[in-house]
Structure 1
Protein backbone atom coordinates (compact mmCIF):
# COMPACT_ATOMS: atom_id res chain seq x y z
CA UNK A 1 0.00 0.00 0.00
CA UNK A 2 1.31 3.46 -0.92
CA UNK A 3 0.73 6.22 1.62
CA UNK A 4 1.22 9.97 1.09
CA UNK A 5 2.53 12.04 3.99
CA UNK A 6 4.51 15.14 4.85
CA UNK A 7 7.28 16.11 7.23
CA UNK A 8 9.05 19.29 8.31
CA UNK A 9 12.47 20.51 7.26
CA UNK A 10 13.71 23.85 8.59
CA UNK A 11 10.19 25.28 8.65
CA UNK A 12 9.08 23.92 5.27
CA UNK A 13 6.58 21.10 4.73
CA UNK A 14 8.02 18.40 2.49
CA UNK A 15 5.88 15.89 0.58
CA UNK A 16 6.71 12.20 0.76
CA UNK A 17 5.46 8.76 -0.26
CA UNK A 18 5.79 5.56 1.75
CA UNK A 19 5.35 2.19 0.06
CA UNK A 20 4.53 0.06 3.06
CA UNK A 21 5.99 -3.40 3.69
CA UNK A 22 6.69 -5.44 6.85
CA UNK A 23 10.49 -5.66 6.51
CA UNK A 24 12.95 -4.28 9.06
CA UNK A 25 15.22 -3.05 6.26
CA UNK A 26 13.96 -0.04 4.33
CA UNK A 27 15.02 1.81 1.20
CA UNK A 28 15.28 5.60 1.13
CA UNK A 29 15.19 6.97 -2.43
CA UNK A 30 16.70 10.41 -2.95
CA UNK A 31 15.70 12.04 -6.24
CA UNK A 32 18.33 13.52 -8.54
CA UNK A 33 18.36 16.85 -10.36
CA UNK A 34 15.06 18.69 -10.08
CA UNK A 35 13.03 15.52 -10.47
CA UNK A 36 10.03 14.96 -8.26
CA UNK A 37 9.94 11.85 -6.12
CA UNK A 38 8.24 9.74 -8.81
CA UNK A 39 11.40 10.03 -10.93
CA UNK A 40 11.87 10.22 -14.69
CA UNK A 41 8.90 8.57 -16.43
CA UNK A 42 7.75 7.38 -12.97
CA UNK A 43 10.86 5.22 -12.73
CA UNK A 44 11.35 5.70 -8.99
CA UNK A 45 7.67 5.15 -8.24
CA UNK A 46 7.75 1.84 -10.13
CA UNK A 47 11.01 0.87 -8.42
CA UNK A 48 9.46 1.62 -5.02
CA UNK A 49 6.45 -0.57 -5.77
CA UNK A 50 8.68 -3.44 -6.86
CA UNK A 51 10.92 -3.23 -3.80
CA UNK A 52 7.95 -2.97 -1.42
CA UNK A 53 6.35 -6.01 -3.07
CA UNK A 54 9.52 -7.91 -2.12
CA UNK A 55 8.96 -6.97 1.54
CA UNK A 56 11.07 -3.84 1.99
CA UNK A 57 9.37 -0.50 2.84
CA UNK A 58 10.38 2.41 0.59
CA UNK A 59 10.37 6.13 1.41
CA UNK A 60 10.60 8.83 -1.28
CA UNK A 61 10.34 12.60 -0.93
CA UNK A 62 10.48 15.92 -2.75
CA UNK A 63 13.25 18.12 -1.39
CA UNK A 64 12.57 21.77 -0.59
CA UNK A 65 11.34 23.76 -3.56
CA UNK A 66 10.64 20.69 -5.70
CA UNK A 67 7.30 19.11 -6.61
CA UNK A 68 4.79 19.30 -3.79
CA UNK A 69 7.28 20.53 -1.18
CA UNK A 70 7.53 24.03 0.24
CA UNK A 71 10.70 26.07 0.57
CA UNK A 72 13.48 27.18 -1.74
CA UNK A 73 15.32 24.80 -4.05
CA UNK A 74 19.00 25.08 -3.19
CA UNK A 75 20.19 22.17 -5.33
CA UNK A 76 21.91 18.97 -4.27
CA UNK A 77 24.79 20.70 -2.49
CA UNK A 78 22.36 22.21 0.03
CA UNK A 79 20.06 19.21 0.45
CA UNK A 80 21.72 17.78 3.55
CA UNK A 81 18.97 18.94 5.96
CA UNK A 82 16.31 17.53 3.62
CA UNK A 83 17.94 14.08 3.70
CA UNK A 84 18.40 14.16 7.48
CA UNK A 85 14.74 15.10 7.96
CA UNK A 86 13.63 12.40 5.51
CA UNK A 87 15.54 9.73 7.42
CA UNK A 88 13.84 10.75 10.66
CA UNK A 89 10.43 10.86 8.95
CA UNK A 90 11.01 7.38 7.49
CA UNK A 91 11.81 5.94 10.91
CA UNK A 92 8.73 7.60 12.40
CA UNK A 93 6.40 6.42 9.62
CA UNK A 94 7.76 2.85 9.62
CA UNK A 95 8.83 2.16 13.22
CA UNK A 96 9.68 -1.48 12.49
CA UNK A 97 12.58 -0.33 10.28
CA UNK A 98 15.92 -0.82 12.04
CA UNK A 99 18.17 -0.61 8.96
CA UNK A 100 17.98 2.02 6.20
CA UNK A 101 19.74 1.75 2.85
CA UNK A 102 19.75 4.92 0.74
CA UNK A 103 19.76 5.01 -3.05
CA UNK A 104 20.51 8.01 -5.25
CA UNK A 105 21.26 8.53 -8.93
CA UNK A 106 23.28 11.37 -10.48
CA UNK A 107 23.50 14.38 -8.13
CA UNK A 108 21.34 12.55 -5.58
CA UNK A 109 24.19 10.05 -5.31
CA UNK A 110 26.60 12.94 -4.88
CA UNK A 111 24.35 14.49 -2.22
CA UNK A 112 24.37 11.25 -0.22
CA UNK A 113 28.16 11.28 -0.32
CA UNK A 114 28.80 14.98 0.28
CA UNK A 115 26.46 15.25 3.28
CA UNK A 116 27.99 12.43 5.28
CA UNK A 117 27.83 11.44 8.05
CA UNK A 118 24.16 10.42 7.85
CA UNK A 119 22.33 7.92 10.04
CA UNK A 120 22.25 5.31 7.29
CA UNK A 121 23.36 1.69 7.25
CA UNK A 122 24.39 1.43 3.59
CA UNK A 123 24.55 3.46 0.39
CA UNK A 124 23.80 2.64 -3.24
CA UNK A 125 25.15 5.42 -5.44
CA UNK A 126 24.51 5.34 -9.19
CA UNK A 127 26.26 7.44 -11.84
CA UNK A 128 27.45 10.06 -9.32
CA UNK A 129 27.61 13.64 -10.60
CA UNK A 130 31.17 15.00 -10.56
CA UNK A 131 30.86 18.23 -12.52
CA UNK A 132 31.58 21.49 -10.75
CA UNK A 133 28.57 23.27 -12.26
CA UNK A 134 25.11 22.38 -13.51
CA UNK A 135 26.28 22.79 -17.10
CA UNK A 136 29.62 22.60 -18.85
CA UNK A 137 30.79 25.64 -20.80
CA UNK A 138 28.86 25.86 -24.06
CA UNK A 139 26.35 23.19 -23.05
CA UNK A 140 22.76 23.49 -24.27
CA UNK A 141 19.72 21.23 -24.27
CA UNK A 142 20.55 20.21 -27.85
CA UNK A 143 24.27 19.93 -27.24
CA UNK A 144 24.95 18.37 -23.82
CA UNK A 145 28.30 18.23 -22.09
CA UNK A 146 30.88 16.06 -23.83
CA UNK A 147 32.07 12.90 -22.08
CA UNK A 148 35.72 12.69 -20.91
CA UNK A 149 38.37 12.53 -23.62
CA UNK A 150 39.16 8.90 -22.73
CA UNK A 151 35.54 7.92 -23.38
CA UNK A 152 35.53 9.83 -26.71
CA UNK A 153 38.71 8.06 -27.82
CA UNK A 154 37.26 4.64 -26.94
CA UNK A 155 34.02 5.41 -28.79
CA UNK A 156 35.70 6.62 -31.98
CA UNK A 157 38.14 3.69 -31.96
CA UNK A 158 35.18 1.32 -31.72
CA UNK A 159 33.42 3.06 -34.61
CA UNK A 160 36.53 2.97 -36.80
CA UNK A 161 36.52 -0.80 -36.43
CA UNK A 162 32.87 -1.01 -37.45
CA UNK A 163 32.32 -1.21 -41.26
CA UNK A 164 28.75 0.11 -40.84
CA UNK A 165 30.03 3.32 -39.24
CA UNK A 166 32.53 3.86 -42.06
CA UNK A 167 29.78 3.29 -44.62
CA UNK A 168 27.57 5.89 -42.90
CA UNK A 169 30.47 8.36 -43.05
CA UNK A 170 30.95 7.77 -46.79
CA UNK A 171 27.22 8.17 -47.41
CA UNK A 172 27.16 11.50 -45.60
CA UNK A 173 24.86 10.20 -42.85
CA UNK A 174 27.14 11.38 -40.04
CA UNK A 175 26.46 14.67 -38.24
CA UNK A 176 29.74 16.43 -39.01
CA UNK A 177 29.02 19.19 -36.49
CA UNK A 178 28.95 16.68 -33.67
CA UNK A 179 31.92 14.81 -35.13
CA UNK A 180 34.06 17.96 -35.23
CA UNK A 181 32.99 18.91 -31.70
CA UNK A 182 33.95 15.48 -30.39
CA UNK A 183 37.30 15.39 -32.19
CA UNK A 184 38.15 18.90 -30.98
CA UNK A 185 37.74 17.74 -27.40
CA UNK A 186 40.54 15.20 -27.89
CA UNK A 187 43.06 17.99 -28.24
CA UNK A 188 42.04 19.78 -25.08
CA UNK A 189 44.09 19.22 -21.96
CA UNK A 190 42.17 18.33 -18.84
CA UNK A 191 42.32 21.08 -16.24
CA UNK A 192 43.54 19.94 -12.82
CA UNK A 193 40.71 19.33 -10.36
CA UNK A 194 40.16 22.12 -7.85
CA UNK A 195 40.82 20.90 -4.29
CA UNK A 196 37.44 22.27 -3.19
CA UNK A 197 35.56 21.17 -6.32
CA UNK A 198 32.85 18.54 -6.44
CA UNK A 199 35.11 15.73 -7.80
CA UNK A 200 37.72 16.21 -5.07
CA UNK A 201 35.10 16.44 -2.33
CA UNK A 202 33.38 13.28 -3.55
CA UNK A 203 36.72 11.46 -3.66
CA UNK A 204 37.35 12.45 -0.04
CA UNK A 205 33.82 11.40 0.97
CA UNK A 206 34.21 8.01 -0.70
CA UNK A 207 37.49 7.40 1.11
CA UNK A 208 36.00 8.12 4.54
CA UNK A 209 32.57 6.48 4.51
CA UNK A 210 31.40 5.06 7.81
CA UNK A 211 28.92 2.68 6.16
CA UNK A 212 29.17 0.19 3.29
CA UNK A 213 28.59 1.59 -0.19
CA UNK A 214 28.05 0.10 -3.63
CA UNK A 215 28.59 2.04 -6.85
CA UNK A 216 26.34 1.36 -9.85
CA UNK A 217 27.49 2.57 -13.26
CA UNK A 218 25.85 2.61 -16.67
CA UNK A 219 29.15 2.58 -18.54
CA UNK A 220 27.78 4.29 -21.66
CA UNK A 221 26.42 7.23 -19.67
CA UNK A 222 28.41 10.47 -19.81
CA UNK A 223 27.95 11.20 -16.11
CA UNK A 224 29.21 7.72 -15.22
CA UNK A 225 32.17 8.13 -17.58
CA UNK A 226 33.07 11.43 -15.95
CA UNK A 227 32.88 9.80 -12.51
CA UNK A 228 35.20 6.99 -13.62
CA UNK A 229 37.72 9.53 -14.84
CA UNK A 230 37.40 11.94 -11.90
CA UNK A 231 37.32 9.39 -9.05
CA UNK A 232 39.41 6.40 -10.20
CA UNK A 233 40.54 5.40 -6.70
CA UNK A 234 36.95 4.67 -5.66
CA UNK A 235 36.67 2.04 -8.39
CA UNK A 236 39.35 -0.04 -6.66
CA UNK A 237 38.26 0.68 -3.10
CA UNK A 238 34.51 0.01 -3.23
CA UNK A 239 32.25 -2.63 -4.82
CA UNK A 240 31.27 -1.53 -8.32
CA UNK A 241 28.50 -3.01 -10.49
CA UNK A 242 28.62 -2.09 -14.18
CA UNK A 243 25.90 -2.21 -16.81
CA UNK A 244 26.80 -1.81 -20.48
CA UNK A 245 24.15 0.81 -21.20
CA UNK A 246 23.95 4.53 -22.04
CA UNK A 247 20.78 4.93 -19.93
CA UNK A 248 21.50 7.49 -17.24
CA UNK A 249 18.24 6.76 -15.37
CA UNK A 250 18.21 2.98 -16.00
CA UNK A 251 15.13 3.19 -18.21
CA UNK A 252 13.39 0.36 -20.06
CA UNK A 253 14.89 -3.10 -19.58
CA UNK A 254 17.71 -1.54 -17.51
CA UNK A 255 15.17 -0.99 -14.73
CA UNK A 256 15.20 -4.74 -14.06
CA UNK A 257 18.97 -4.70 -13.59
CA UNK A 258 18.72 -1.77 -11.18
CA UNK A 259 15.94 -3.37 -9.13
CA UNK A 260 17.85 -6.65 -8.91
CA UNK A 261 21.00 -4.93 -7.64
CA UNK A 262 19.03 -2.97 -5.03
CA UNK A 263 17.09 -6.00 -3.81
CA UNK A 264 20.31 -7.98 -3.51
CA UNK A 265 21.85 -5.29 -1.28
CA UNK A 266 18.69 -4.90 0.81
CA UNK A 267 18.65 -8.63 1.46
CA UNK A 268 22.17 -8.80 2.86
Structure 2
Protein backbone atom coordinates (compact mmCIF):
# COMPACT_ATOMS: atom_id res chain seq x y z
CA UNK A 1 0.00 0.00 0.00
CA UNK A 2 1.20 3.53 -0.80
CA UNK A 3 0.95 6.36 1.73
CA UNK A 4 1.64 10.07 1.51
CA UNK A 5 3.33 11.79 4.44
CA UNK A 6 5.28 14.89 5.41
CA UNK A 7 8.50 15.34 7.36
CA UNK A 8 10.54 18.29 8.55
CA UNK A 9 13.80 19.57 7.11
CA UNK A 10 15.16 22.71 8.77
CA UNK A 11 11.65 24.03 9.37
CA UNK A 12 10.27 23.19 5.91
CA UNK A 13 7.61 20.52 5.41
CA UNK A 14 8.75 18.03 2.80
CA UNK A 15 6.34 15.74 0.96
CA UNK A 16 7.05 12.03 0.65
CA UNK A 17 5.54 8.75 -0.47
CA UNK A 18 6.01 5.40 1.25
CA UNK A 19 5.32 2.12 -0.54
CA UNK A 20 4.86 -0.33 2.32
CA UNK A 21 6.41 -3.79 2.40
CA UNK A 22 7.46 -6.12 5.23
CA UNK A 23 11.17 -6.31 4.38
CA UNK A 24 13.91 -5.09 6.72
CA UNK A 25 15.89 -3.55 3.85
CA UNK A 26 14.40 -0.38 2.40
CA UNK A 27 15.06 1.63 -0.75
CA UNK A 28 15.38 5.42 -0.59
CA UNK A 29 14.89 7.01 -4.02
CA UNK A 30 16.52 10.44 -4.41
CA UNK A 31 15.17 12.40 -7.40
CA UNK A 32 17.56 13.98 -9.89
CA UNK A 33 17.38 17.46 -11.36
CA UNK A 34 14.18 19.23 -10.39
CA UNK A 35 12.03 16.15 -10.87
CA UNK A 36 9.27 15.47 -8.40
CA UNK A 37 9.34 12.18 -6.53
CA UNK A 38 7.18 10.42 -9.15
CA UNK A 39 10.01 10.78 -11.66
CA UNK A 40 9.90 11.34 -15.41
CA UNK A 41 6.72 9.78 -16.85
CA UNK A 42 6.10 8.39 -13.32
CA UNK A 43 9.14 6.17 -13.72
CA UNK A 44 10.17 6.34 -10.06
CA UNK A 45 6.61 5.69 -8.87
CA UNK A 46 6.49 2.61 -11.08
CA UNK A 47 9.91 1.49 -9.82
CA UNK A 48 8.78 1.93 -6.21
CA UNK A 49 5.66 -0.15 -6.83
CA UNK A 50 7.69 -2.99 -8.32
CA UNK A 51 10.32 -2.98 -5.56
CA UNK A 52 7.65 -2.93 -2.84
CA UNK A 53 5.87 -5.83 -4.53
CA UNK A 54 9.12 -7.77 -4.17
CA UNK A 55 9.00 -7.18 -0.41
CA UNK A 56 11.15 -4.06 0.11
CA UNK A 57 9.64 -0.80 1.42
CA UNK A 58 10.38 2.28 -0.71
CA UNK A 59 10.54 5.94 0.32
CA UNK A 60 10.49 8.84 -2.17
CA UNK A 61 10.44 12.56 -1.42
CA UNK A 62 10.43 16.03 -2.94
CA UNK A 63 13.40 18.03 -1.71
CA UNK A 64 12.94 21.62 -0.52
CA UNK A 65 11.36 23.87 -3.12
CA UNK A 66 10.32 21.00 -5.42
CA UNK A 67 6.86 19.60 -6.05
CA UNK A 68 4.74 19.52 -2.90
CA UNK A 69 7.57 20.51 -0.55
CA UNK A 70 8.10 23.83 1.16
CA UNK A 71 11.34 25.80 1.29
CA UNK A 72 13.86 27.11 -1.22
CA UNK A 73 15.28 24.95 -3.98
CA UNK A 74 19.06 25.06 -3.64
CA UNK A 75 19.79 22.34 -6.19
CA UNK A 76 21.59 19.06 -5.66
CA UNK A 77 24.66 20.78 -4.22
CA UNK A 78 22.73 21.80 -1.08
CA UNK A 79 20.50 18.74 -0.72
CA UNK A 80 22.50 16.94 1.97
CA UNK A 81 20.14 17.99 4.78
CA UNK A 82 17.12 16.95 2.70
CA UNK A 83 18.55 13.46 2.16
CA UNK A 84 19.54 13.08 5.82
CA UNK A 85 16.07 14.15 6.98
CA UNK A 86 14.48 11.73 4.49
CA UNK A 87 16.53 8.83 5.86
CA UNK A 88 15.34 9.62 9.40
CA UNK A 89 11.73 9.94 8.22
CA UNK A 90 11.97 6.64 6.35
CA UNK A 91 13.18 4.83 9.46
CA UNK A 92 10.33 6.32 11.52
CA UNK A 93 7.71 5.43 8.90
CA UNK A 94 9.01 1.87 8.45
CA UNK A 95 10.45 0.99 11.88
CA UNK A 96 11.20 -2.62 10.90
CA UNK A 97 13.97 -1.63 8.50
CA UNK A 98 17.54 -2.24 9.62
CA UNK A 99 19.23 -1.42 6.32
CA UNK A 100 18.69 1.52 3.94
CA UNK A 101 19.92 1.50 0.34
CA UNK A 102 19.78 4.77 -1.61
CA UNK A 103 19.32 5.07 -5.37
CA UNK A 104 20.00 8.25 -7.32
CA UNK A 105 20.22 9.02 -11.01
CA UNK A 106 22.15 11.93 -12.56
CA UNK A 107 22.80 14.73 -10.06
CA UNK A 108 20.98 12.74 -7.38
CA UNK A 109 23.83 10.21 -7.64
CA UNK A 110 26.29 13.08 -7.31
CA UNK A 111 24.42 14.44 -4.29
CA UNK A 112 24.69 11.07 -2.54
CA UNK A 113 28.45 11.18 -3.07
CA UNK A 114 29.00 14.81 -2.10
CA UNK A 115 27.16 14.85 1.22
CA UNK A 116 28.70 12.24 3.51
CA UNK A 117 28.33 10.97 6.07
CA UNK A 118 24.81 9.77 5.43
CA UNK A 119 23.24 6.96 7.46
CA UNK A 120 23.10 4.61 4.50
CA UNK A 121 24.15 0.99 4.10
CA UNK A 122 24.64 0.93 0.32
CA UNK A 123 24.47 3.23 -2.71
CA UNK A 124 23.22 2.67 -6.26
CA UNK A 125 24.57 5.47 -8.45
CA UNK A 126 23.22 5.81 -11.98
CA UNK A 127 24.78 8.06 -14.63
CA UNK A 128 26.47 10.42 -12.12
CA UNK A 129 26.47 14.09 -13.13
CA UNK A 130 29.98 15.57 -13.52
CA UNK A 131 29.30 18.70 -15.59
CA UNK A 132 29.63 22.04 -13.84
CA UNK A 133 26.29 23.56 -12.83
CA UNK A 134 22.88 21.99 -12.35
CA UNK A 135 21.13 19.97 -15.04
CA UNK A 136 18.49 22.66 -15.48
CA UNK A 137 21.09 25.43 -15.69
CA UNK A 138 22.72 23.71 -18.64
CA UNK A 139 19.55 22.29 -20.14
CA UNK A 140 21.46 19.01 -20.23
CA UNK A 141 24.96 18.52 -21.66
CA UNK A 142 25.44 20.80 -24.69
CA UNK A 143 27.84 18.43 -26.44
CA UNK A 144 28.78 14.78 -26.06
CA UNK A 145 32.19 14.12 -24.48
CA UNK A 146 35.14 13.56 -26.79
CA UNK A 147 35.04 9.78 -26.40
CA UNK A 148 31.46 9.69 -27.66
CA UNK A 149 32.31 11.91 -30.63
CA UNK A 150 35.24 9.64 -31.50
CA UNK A 151 32.97 6.62 -31.40
CA UNK A 152 30.46 8.40 -33.64
CA UNK A 153 33.16 9.26 -36.19
CA UNK A 154 34.38 5.66 -36.23
CA UNK A 155 30.88 4.25 -36.63
CA UNK A 156 30.21 6.58 -39.54
CA UNK A 157 33.51 5.67 -41.22
CA UNK A 158 32.46 1.99 -41.00
CA UNK A 159 29.01 2.72 -42.44
CA UNK A 160 28.83 1.87 -46.16
CA UNK A 161 26.46 4.80 -46.77
CA UNK A 162 28.92 7.23 -45.17
CA UNK A 163 31.78 5.75 -47.19
CA UNK A 164 29.75 6.16 -50.37
CA UNK A 165 29.14 9.82 -49.51
CA UNK A 166 32.87 10.19 -48.92
CA UNK A 167 33.76 8.72 -52.30
CA UNK A 168 31.16 10.94 -53.98
CA UNK A 169 32.77 14.01 -52.47
CA UNK A 170 29.70 14.86 -50.40
CA UNK A 171 31.73 15.09 -47.19
CA UNK A 172 34.03 18.05 -46.48
CA UNK A 173 37.37 16.29 -45.99
CA UNK A 174 39.07 19.33 -44.47
CA UNK A 175 36.35 19.60 -41.82
CA UNK A 176 36.51 15.86 -41.18
CA UNK A 177 40.28 15.82 -40.70
CA UNK A 178 40.21 18.93 -38.51
CA UNK A 179 37.64 17.25 -36.29
CA UNK A 180 39.59 14.00 -36.07
CA UNK A 181 42.85 15.87 -35.34
CA UNK A 182 41.21 17.86 -32.55
CA UNK A 183 39.90 14.68 -30.95
CA UNK A 184 43.43 13.24 -30.75
CA UNK A 185 44.35 15.84 -28.14
CA UNK A 186 44.52 14.31 -24.64
CA UNK A 187 41.73 15.17 -22.23
CA UNK A 188 43.15 17.60 -19.63
CA UNK A 189 42.77 16.53 -15.99
CA UNK A 190 39.88 18.08 -14.12
CA UNK A 191 40.68 21.11 -11.97
CA UNK A 192 40.99 20.15 -8.27
CA UNK A 193 37.89 22.15 -7.33
CA UNK A 194 35.77 20.99 -10.27
CA UNK A 195 32.68 18.86 -9.76
CA UNK A 196 34.31 15.96 -11.64
CA UNK A 197 37.35 16.04 -9.33
CA UNK A 198 35.14 16.23 -6.25
CA UNK A 199 33.07 13.27 -7.46
CA UNK A 200 36.23 11.28 -8.19
CA UNK A 201 37.62 12.11 -4.75
CA UNK A 202 34.35 11.18 -3.05
CA UNK A 203 34.39 7.78 -4.75
CA UNK A 204 38.03 7.26 -3.75
CA UNK A 205 37.15 7.86 -0.11
CA UNK A 206 33.81 6.07 -0.12
CA UNK A 207 33.29 3.78 2.87
CA UNK A 208 29.76 2.73 1.91
CA UNK A 209 29.35 -0.20 -0.53
CA UNK A 210 28.26 1.15 -3.91
CA UNK A 211 27.31 0.08 -7.40
CA UNK A 212 27.46 2.29 -10.49
CA UNK A 213 24.90 1.85 -13.28
CA UNK A 214 25.64 3.37 -16.70
CA UNK A 215 23.55 3.68 -19.85
CA UNK A 216 26.38 3.56 -22.36
CA UNK A 217 24.70 5.83 -24.92
CA UNK A 218 23.79 8.53 -22.42
CA UNK A 219 25.89 11.70 -22.60
CA UNK A 220 25.98 12.15 -18.84
CA UNK A 221 27.22 8.58 -18.37
CA UNK A 222 29.81 9.06 -21.13
CA UNK A 223 31.04 12.24 -19.48
CA UNK A 224 31.36 10.43 -16.14
CA UNK A 225 33.48 7.71 -17.75
CA UNK A 226 35.72 10.34 -19.34
CA UNK A 227 35.94 12.63 -16.30
CA UNK A 228 36.33 9.97 -13.60
CA UNK A 229 38.07 6.98 -15.26
CA UNK A 230 39.83 5.83 -12.08
CA UNK A 231 36.47 5.52 -10.31
CA UNK A 232 35.57 2.64 -12.60
CA UNK A 233 38.32 0.56 -11.00
CA UNK A 234 37.12 1.19 -7.45
CA UNK A 235 33.42 0.38 -7.61
CA UNK A 236 31.47 -2.37 -9.40
CA UNK A 237 30.02 -1.02 -12.64
CA UNK A 238 27.13 -2.44 -14.64
CA UNK A 239 26.42 -1.17 -18.13
CA UNK A 240 23.27 -1.14 -20.24
CA UNK A 241 23.60 -0.55 -23.97
CA UNK A 242 21.02 2.22 -24.20
CA UNK A 243 20.85 5.98 -24.77
CA UNK A 244 18.13 6.39 -22.13
CA UNK A 245 19.30 8.66 -19.33
CA UNK A 246 16.25 7.84 -17.17
CA UNK A 247 16.06 4.11 -18.09
CA UNK A 248 12.72 4.63 -19.81
CA UNK A 249 10.54 1.94 -21.34
CA UNK A 250 11.96 -1.59 -21.30
CA UNK A 251 15.18 -0.26 -19.76
CA UNK A 252 13.23 0.12 -16.53
CA UNK A 253 13.17 -3.68 -16.22
CA UNK A 254 16.98 -3.77 -16.29
CA UNK A 255 17.16 -1.00 -13.69
CA UNK A 256 14.68 -2.70 -11.37
CA UNK A 257 16.54 -6.01 -11.57
CA UNK A 258 19.85 -4.37 -10.61
CA UNK A 259 18.26 -2.53 -7.70
CA UNK A 260 16.53 -5.66 -6.42
CA UNK A 261 19.83 -7.56 -6.58
CA UNK A 262 21.48 -4.98 -4.31
CA UNK A 263 18.53 -4.97 -1.91
CA UNK A 264 18.58 -8.74 -1.65
CA UNK A 265 22.36 -8.99 -1.11
Structure 2 residues without counterparts, runs of 5 or longer: none
* TM-score using structure 2 length: 0.91
* SS state at 1:153 partner: helix
2:100 counterpart residue number: 100
Counterpart for residue 56 of structure 1 = 56
SS in 1 for 2:248: coil
Q: Hey, which bits of structure 1, 4+ residues long, moved more than 2 A?
A: 134-137, 164-171, 182-192
CA RMSD between the two structures: 2.7
Distance in 2, matches of 1:168 and 1:72, equals 54
| Secondary structure of 1:66's aligned partner | coil
Instruction: Indicate the residue corresponding to 2:247 in structure 1.
Output: 250
Q: Work out whether residues 117 and 210 of structure 1, in 8 Å CA contact, stay in contact via their aligned partners in 2.
A: no
How far off its partner does 1:186 sit? 3.3
Contact 1:219-1:245 at 8 Å conserved across structures? yes
Q: Matches of residues 1-268 of structure 1 in structure 2 within 5 Å?
A: 1-134=1-134, 144-166=141-163, 186=183, 190-268=187-265
Using the size of structure 1 for normalisation, the TM-score is: 0.90
Question: For 1:113-160, what per-residue CA distance to the aligned partner results, in whole angstroms no more than 9, with x for missing partners?
Answer: 0001110000000000001123699x667xx51121122101210121
Could you tell me which runs of 5 or more consecutive residues in structure 1 were left unpaired when the two chains were aligned. none
SS at match of 1:28: strand
- Give distance in 1, aligned partners of 2:227 and 2:122: 23
Residues matched between the structures, number: 261
